[in-house]
Chains A and B, each alone.
Chain A
Amino acid sequence: MDIGNLIYGFEIALSWNNLGFCLIGVTLGTLIGVLPGIGPLATFSILLPISFYLPPVGALILLSGVYYGAQYGGSITSILVNVPGEASTVVTCIDGHKMALQGRAGSALAIAALGSLFAGCVTTLIIAVAGPALVKVALMFGPEEYVALLTLGLLSAVLLSGGSVSKSLGMVLVGIFLSLVGIDVNAGIDRFTFGFLELSDGLGFTAVSIGMFGIAEIARSLEETQGRGHQVQKFSSLWPTREDIKRSIAPVLRGTALGTFLGILPGGGGTIASFSAYSLERQVARNPKEFGNGAVEGVAGPESANNAAAQANFIPMLSLGIPPNALMALMMGAMIMHGIAPGPQVMTSHPDLFWGLIASMWIGNLMLVVLNLPMIGVWVSFLSIRYIYLFPGILVLASVGAFAESGRAFDIYVLIFFAVAGYVLTKMRFPIAPMLLGLVLGRILEEQLRRALLLSDGNWLTFVERPISLAIFIVTLLLAALTVAPSLRRRRTEVLGDGDDN
């Protein structure tokens, strides 16, 4: 690890402006983790156009703060209300809420926050080490390797997320097709614009994501909750007992290692990491019967794992330019909006962004512990806010977001179209997140595919003739074969659910 670069990153992240963006990001993240009816995907899409008005480094520090802040906020609702704020904190409900019912809510909250802090700090270090190493490898890649890597990224993101594989893959392809709308830069020909001049630049990425995740999500939340608030479990002391701390050390270490490993893999994210950490803890426990009845290991392991994975997700995005999930795809969208081409060159062309962002994660994690422990009472009071008072504001925020990008009403019409489409698709139980990945990566995939074919004189075998690309394709095929294997399919359904995890 290059200490000099990390120190440079801290100089960037510790500037007053960036500290402010980091604080706003983690506060917003905790807030959306706590508040019902709005998740990080919706918040990201709504904030995306607004972040355009901020300096690029500040915008990305803010957005990443929202991302890992939401993991912290999500655990508060899981423990105190038995309602997971995020998919990745579902498993925390099992033992975290049981601890709350036994009067140990404070201990559960503290262990979750401290475990997440440890995981966050370790993973930040790993990003600083692994990121540049991966960049060196990625710089050797040609178009063939990129096609292989993008295929692996898209496929594994689908295979490792919940829901029907056929539906998810179908949605990835729909997303890729939609990404092709607009002028083809090589040939200068309009594609699928139906004569709308406004579509020449392509479908407004923000309008599509706000429509699908923002508006459609509010509609679904209102259907499910009718805008009610939550009943909160009371608690007194926030300091964990010595026994709880002792029992949490090993699970935190195991959760951090597992979460980091799963977070680096394309498709791996907080959800799969927290479920895997929970089942690992249950397997290694001396008394597995305690699980489900308030075992502190069932909070410490998964909470560390989901935070580690959330941060490790940045490794493939920052070093290879390949987002492992929809949230990172939106993050990549933010970089593109700021004129930064994502990929291995970011580390050298924008070192302030790369190292500043990494250092800000360290600072952000520290801020989150301060926000989450001494100020827990403030967040608890937010839990009782009724959603009906919030969603009109979110609607206005979403409309401003779509309108602000170009100042055209047309983008709001695009938003409306995709809000309806998103709603209809969810009702048909199609997952939406894979479509967003396709939308972000589609154009890049086409560009690299055409470049590879041009350089090889139309030889389709070029993708398997180069060793790295062949190896990546073999891994992709193995992963696909493993996923359809009956025993693993059962396990996947058990861990990730058969429902539609957007």
Chain B
Amino acid sequence: MPGLFLIGFGIFALVLTNELPAGSSYADDVALFPRIVAVGIVLFGLILLMQDALRYYRSGELDLGDRWVLRPLACLVAGALAFAVLMQPFGFVATAATSAFVGSFAAPFPAFWQRVAVAVVVSALAAIVFIVLLGLNFPLWPAGI
């Protein structure tokens, strides 16, 4: 798996570098260095693939990586996404609270009210630190308030 990933990435990178215009001198040859790097990535992918094949041949083990647990990552990503989407229309306080609340589902909380409490505390502390103390130029409340 890791070898295939690197080979795939390297080939994709090579295709992208082929679309770049060739320069007339080393100063404007924008494709030279990325191409060397892309070939290197493919090369290390091949080495990894060979190492994996050898291991499989010797012990029958296949490197499939570790088990995925999707819930924590999915909830954290949803929390960050909420931040990106809500910031403009709803302002910092509501956005930070929603982001913390959505993200909190990444872990099992003993009670629902604790999620709400954590979100409220996080939002208040973040507003004090970022807006009041650090003076970040974010709208605190929804547009129109």
Contacts and interface: CB of A to CB of B under 8 A. Distances in A.
Closest 3 CB pairs of A and B: A412-B84, A392-B100, A170-B44
B136 interface: yes
Contact of A427 (B68, B106, B137): B68
Interface in B10-39: 13, 16, 20-21, 23, 25-30, 32-34, 37-38
Interface of A: 50, 53, 164, 166-167, 169-170, 173-174, 176-177, 180, 184, 186-187, 189, 191-192, 215-216, 218-219, 222-223, 226-227, 387-389, 391-393, 395-400, 402-404, 407, 409, 412-413, 415-416, 419-420, 423, 426-430, 442, 445-446, 449-450, 453-454, 458
A413 B69 CA distance: 21
A404 B87 CA distance: 12
Task: Classify chain B's interface size.
Answer: 35 or more
Contact of A218 (B65, B106, B119): B106
B125 A167 contact: no
B41 A189 contact: no
Contact of A187 (B30, B40, B83, B96): B30
Contacts of B68: 427
B73 interface: yes
A419 B83 contact: no
Nearest to B9: A174
A460 to B, nearest CB: 11
B20 A427 contact: no
A50 B44 contact: no
Contacts of A216: 73
Nearest to B4: A428
24 contacts: A174-B6, A177-B34, A180-B37, A191-B20, A215-B76, A215-B77, A222-B72, A226-B108, A388-B104, A389-B118, A395-B80, A395-B99, A395-B103, A396-B79, A398-B80, A399-B80, A404-B130, A416-B84, A419-B76, A427-B66, A428-B5, A429-B65, A450-B27, A450-B32
Contacts of B99: 392, 395-396, 399
Contact of A166 (B21, B38, B44): B44
A428 B20 contact: no
B122 interface: yes
A219 B73 contact: yes
A428 B1 contact: yes
Contact of B41 (A177, A423, A428): A177
B interface majority secondary structure: helix
Contacts of A395: 76, 79-80, 99-100, 103
Contact of A404 (B6, B80, B88, B136): B136
A166 B48 contact: yes
B20 A189 contact: yes
The SS class assigned to the A binding surface is: helix
Interface of B: 1-2, 5-6, 9, 13, 16, 20-21, 23, 25-30, 32-34, 37-38, 40-41, 44-45, 47-48, 51, 63, 65-69, 72-73, 76-77, 79-81, 83-85, 87-88, 96, 99-101, 103-104, 106-109, 118-119, 122-123, 125-126, 130, 134-137
Contacts of B13: 177
A153 B28 CA distance: 26
B43 to A, nearest CB: 9
A426 B27 CA distance: 37
A429 B81 contact: no
Nearest to A387: B107
Given A218-B76, A222-B72, A395-B100, 4 more contacts: A53-B135, A223-B72, A392-B99, A392-B122
Given A53-B134, A226-B108, A416-B80, A397 B126 contact: yes
A216 B7 CA distance: 23
Nearest to A402: B80
Contacts of B1: 428
A393 B125 contact: yes
Nearest to B119: A392
A170 B41 contact: yes
A7 to B, nearest CB: 32
A453 B26 contact: yes
Nearest to A180: B34
A248 B63 CA distance: 45
Contacts of A219: 72-73, 76, 106
Contacts of A413: 84
B126 A419 contact: no
A396 B100 contact: yes
A400 B79 CA distance: 12
Nearest to A400: B130
Nearest to A388: B107
Contacts of B81: 412, 416
A396 B107 contact: no
Nearest to A210: B80
A52 to B, nearest CB: 10
A458 B25 CA distance: 9
